[in-house]
Structure 1
Amino acid sequence: MAVVGRVEDFVDAKPRAVEVDGHPVCVVRIGDRFFAVDDICSHAHYRLSEGDVYEEELEIECWKHGSTFSLLDGRPQSLPATRPIGVHRISVREDGSVEVELGGDK
């Protein structure tokens, strides 16, 4: 697992781009919950960290074409995207550090 920041570094419902072992990851904080997904839209290779978060739906929207993806399982929730994005394991240590493990299920 790689440390990508501290709890206070992440603003509620504002996606943040991080890099884990050279892989672009988007971290989203919603209240006390954290999510880590691929930062690249599966439809057209745009950064999801530049999009909007829908807190109630637990989704992130690609800013370019409007596809939304589940933060829980990476599945597209709207077209034009049809392929899921990767979801990664994320955890918060007792000291407030936020860690991401690539490829791990949340």
Structure 2
Amino acid sequence: MSAVMITRKVRKWEKLPGKNTFCCDGRVMMARQKGIFYLTLFLIVGTCSLFFAFECPYLAVHLSPAIPIFAVLLFLFVMAMLLRTSFSDPGVLPRALPEEANFIEMEIGQ
């Protein structure tokens, strides 16, 4: 019997490590400033929980039961967009080629 060797594909982020943190086999990327993300998450969840605990019951009874439903949908949308932007790769802006840089310099100089 021969042993079957399983080779794992090496990802780009493993070859060229940067200052970002990768989780879930590279599907989730966190920036260097994790504290800002946690602070933002705390502020959004904290203020929304206070709103849902104290204001929503009053608004649902005295104004309309649609207000808490709309607030929950809005909260879920905000959280989804926060997580999507926090865990995605922003990409890289490539530098201009020397010919492009010379052309841009000529355009600016006129």
Is the pair's TM-score, using the shorter chain for normalization, greater than 0.5?
no
**If each structure's strand is expressed as a fraction of its own residues, which one has the higher value?**
1
Rg larger for: 2
Return the TM-score normalized by structure 2. Answer: 0.18
Return the TM-score normalized by structure 1. Answer: 0.18
